[in-house]
A and B are shown apart, each in its own frame.
Chain A
Amino acid sequence: MKMWVVFSVGQRLRHIGHLDLMRAMQRALRRSGLDVCYSQGFSPHINLSLASPLPVGMAGDREVMEVPMQSLIPPETFKQRLNDALPIALRVISCHHRPDDEQAAMAQVCAAQYVFEFMDDADRLLAGVPEYLKRVSIPAIRKSKKGDVAFDIRPLIFNLFTKEGKLYATLALSQTGTAKPLTVLETLADFVGIPTPRAIATRTGLLTSCFGPLEAI
């Protein structure tokens, strides 16, 4: 048995690292007293996993965590008890039972949605979005162990639009290809010819290969 937990990471916590978030969840689960599985050994821990690490500096509206369970607990109860044990900036939105033999959440993520709110003037940037998208190929650089690697980011951008001064993006996020939100922002700024405006980004959801929300499979 496992539980998928959809939760949000508030803006207040957008700077905590992936491991810090994992540890915070571990401790919250311990506080909640929910019947989760612990590993064996000297320092037993809960084998929870996150569908995708939330980039540092970003808040998350619908992150997904997978928790191995000892017994079947109604999702509503799970949600309430975990929420009672979480700090205000972390909130459970919904919980879902999943069969044990199902692919891990991590393997099912294909894309993610983001929204950028700007701290600097971004009018020109936003105006440039349609032209930017018209290009068939957009060269970008990815850092890897072997150094910088050039790649084409255009096919990894599934959607990009502006609304009320904000920038919305749906970007590839999988083993076969990932467009980092910051890279998209940088190439866009570069294309328009301005320095990258500072922004607070939020990841608003994780999507499967058929572009449905991960938790709704």
Chain B
Amino acid sequence: MSLSDLMLIERLLDEVEKPARYLGGEMNAIIKEKQPGDLRFAFCFPDTYEIAMSHLGMKILYDILNAQPHIICERVCMPWVDMIEGLRREQVSLFSLETRTSLHAFDIVGFTLQYEMSFTNILEMLDLGGIKQRNEDRGESDPIVVAGGPNAANPEPLSMFIDAFMMGDGESLIVELSQTVRTMRQTGARREEILYALSKIEGVYVPRFYEAAYNKDGTLACFSPNRQGAPESVRKRIELDLENAPYPTGFLVPYTQIIHDRIVLEIMRGCTRGCRFCQAGMLYRPVRERSLDRLYGLAEKLVQNTGYEEISLSSLSSGDYPCLEELIQGLMERFREKRVSVSLPSMRLDSLVKQSLEETSQVKKSGLTLAPEAGTQRLRDVINKGVTEEDLMRAVTDAFESGWSAVKLYFMIGLPTETQEDLEGIADLAKKVVDCYYRVPKQQRAPGLRVTVSVSTFVPKPFTPFQWFGQDDLETIRGKQAFLRDRLRIKGVQFNWHDAELSFLEACVARGDRRMGEVILAAWRSGCRLDSWREHFKFANWLKAFEECGLDPAFYANRLREYSEILPWSFVDIGVTGKYLQLEDERARAGIVTPDCRGDCQGCGLRRFEGVCTA
């Protein structure tokens, strides 16, 4: 970047509302001087700094890349509207946090895909960074644009923009991909050949080597490689040895407050519960754990290197970690003197142990969060959320007796087979929780009961047993929300609900095909970005974008798909088979629950690969 551009950035920083977002220079930020032959990787997070810096995957991969010889990884986040406006006005390129390098000067520009409604941010960042948005328009000197993360499991909606996708765990894959690009660039290989080489790496999908054809009714007629050697099916990468997989020991410590401003210890990856609505539960199989010793060792270094005052545990279901209590106790003992507290996020209520509740309350009394997801036992069986009302009541009573007074309950509406009774059930449960509180003697309970009931709209996701399901249409959702609003007028209860429109679009994009790219582009052109921020969400523009592209959003969101249909993501092998998903869907309809498969394999498909699943 030229000196005058750097000066312009300084000026912009004086103008914008939260300049601290763009400063870099945090503790443990890594700045490497570029040597000839080094590859520069821009790790792009398509949301604001505060969200990006709370994301564990980014911290892991940032460290792994920078530990490689000849690879330099710097971070780039989605700027806020004031900075976007400033960059455009002053004609300054979007820049990295570490060295304020223009996005287009990097060799690889990699996006992490965490949320479908951040896809317009990707287009905005490419545009601000001086990179052509359509992959077919990019030339030899342009960066190679890659993407990974959970949303890469259905890469098709972004296949127009991204050169290569990475499926599954990224630890080894991102290094292999980067080193391949580096060595091939050194030998002067052409872009097309580099991409072809990438397509040979297990876990990489290069959309330009595939073609899609459609039936008259809009469904996929066929999808296959158009270049010889590109694999028919792209299989996700699995980091089998989580214990020894690299983990950062020096988290970046931002100056400005972020969402999760603490040490995060990933104790486990994957989940064997088999909740039928949960995409992560299927995507991250098999279950792998880190040992107590490894975790203590990591925590020790992280406390030393960050100065953070809090450790939280991360996994899809921390309650299932075999030695959870021992771990919490061990961490608390080790760090009591250093005044570091331990907190438990996203606890599953059936694995709540009263003792660990009390342990945490010793140090930190944050609210208790429970996710029954559905209002009746019948519907909880359908979605395979193996939680009973008894579990819930016991957990809540324990919490109230131990001095908690704030409880958050998460539910979904629009789940398959949902009836009026299930909606009533949500209000009933909330009432019962309130009653629980008042049954605890006044001297014992903490004052100020606060029950927050958060209701989101169910979004059917690829690679779940409900991937064929049609989402409720907008009117139905709004009706259900209104009903609940009415029923939840209970003293001490606060009702939150999500934007139905946003969930509707999320459903469209999540299960979109190749043609969805044009819609995203049209939406961005009409000014859509930062869609997940209510004040910037422009639903009407999205609808118009669909219209312009001649596509019907209901086709993607609300239509019940046939089991026989070729799904846009059928060519991706995430381990769990389509056959198993169908079986699970059929069981759901019949109200049959599937047990936790740990020690009781249900044949989801992962064992097709030798040594992958030993749960």
Q: Which residues of A contact B (CB under 8 A)?
A: 10, 12-13, 15-17, 20-21, 23-24, 26-31, 38, 42-45, 57, 85-89, 119, 198, 200
Contacts and interface: CB of A to CB of B under 8 A. Distances in A.
A86 B365 CA distance: 30
B14 A31 contact: no
B307 A198 contact: no
A21 B11 CA distance: 21
B307 A85 contact: yes
B311 to A, nearest CB: 13
Interface stretch (B21-29, B143-151, B473-481, B539-547): B21-29
B590 interface: no
A16 B25 CA distance: 11
Given A16-B20, A20-B255, A43-B341, A27 B306 contact: yes
B25 A20 contact: no
In this complex, the member of A27, A57, A88 whose beta carbon has the largest number of chain B beta carbons within 10 angstroms is A27
Interface string B8-36: 00110110000110011111010000000
Nearest to B27: A87
B11 A198 contact: yes
Interface in B347-377: 363-365
B309 interface: yes
A128 B29 CA distance: 44
Contacts of B339: 38, 44
A14 B306 CA distance: 22
Contacts of A31: 27, 304-307
A101 B256 CA distance: 34
A110 B413 CA distance: 62
A200 B253 contact: no
Contacts of A88: 25
A29 to B, nearest CB: 7
Contacts of A119: 7, 10-11
A43 to B, nearest CB: 7
A29 B307 contact: yes
Contact of B19 (A15, A24, A85): A15
20 contacts: A10-B25, A12-B25, A13-B25, A13-B255, A16-B256, A17-B256, A20-B257, A24-B27, A27-B253, A27-B307, A27-B309, A28-B307, A31-B27, A42-B363, A43-B364, A44-B339, A45-B309, A87-B25, A119-B7, A200-B10
B308 interface: yes
Given A42-B365, A119-B11, A27 B23 contact: no
B53 to A, nearest CB: 13
Contact of A12 (B7, B23, B307): B23
A175 B29 CA distance: 38
Contacts of B309: 27, 30, 43, 45
B190 interface: no
B310 to A, nearest CB: 9
B200 interface: no
A88 B257 CA distance: 19
Given A16-B255, A27-B306, A89 B25 contact: yes
B338 interface: yes
Counting from the closest, the 9 A-B pairs by CB-CB distance are A27-B307, A15-B19, A30-B307, A31-B307, A20-B255, A44-B339, A16-B255, A12-B25, A87-B27
A21 B305 CA distance: 18
A42 B364 CA distance: 7
Of the candidates B13, B14, B26, B306, the one having the most CB atoms from chain A within 10 angstroms of its own CB is: B14
A7 to B, nearest CB: 15
A209 B256 CA distance: 34
A81 B19 CA distance: 29
Contact of A20 (B20, B24, B304, B306): B20
Contacts of B253: 24, 27
Contacts of B11: 119, 198
B27 A28 contact: yes
Contacts of A86: 27
Contacts of B25: 10, 12-13, 87-89
Nearest to B31: A88
Nearest to A31: B307
A90 to B, nearest CB: 9
A16 B306 contact: no
B338 to A, nearest CB: 7
Nearest to B18: A15
A27 B363 contact: no
A15 B29 contact: no
A23 B255 contact: yes
Contact of B23 (A15, A28, A43, A44): A15
A10 B29 CA distance: 16
B264 to A, nearest CB: 16
Contact of B24 (A12, A27, A44): A12
Nearest to B339: A44
A30 B338 contact: yes
A26 B255 CA distance: 11
Nearest to A44: B339
Contacts of B341: 43
B312 to A, nearest CB: 14
A27 B27 CA distance: 10
A20 B364 CA distance: 22
A12 B13 CA distance: 11
A198 B13 CA distance: 12
Contacts of A28: 27, 307
B363 A26 contact: no
Contact of B307 (A10, A13, A21, A26): A26
Interface string B34-69: 000000000000000000000000000000000000
Contacts of A198: 11, 14
Contacts of A42: 363-365
Contacts of B308: 27, 30
Nearest to B19: A15
A57 B14 contact: yes
Given A15-B23, A31-B306, A42-B364, 9 more contacts: A15-B19, A16-B255, A27-B253, A27-B309, A31-B305, A31-B307, A57-B19, A87-B25, A200-B10
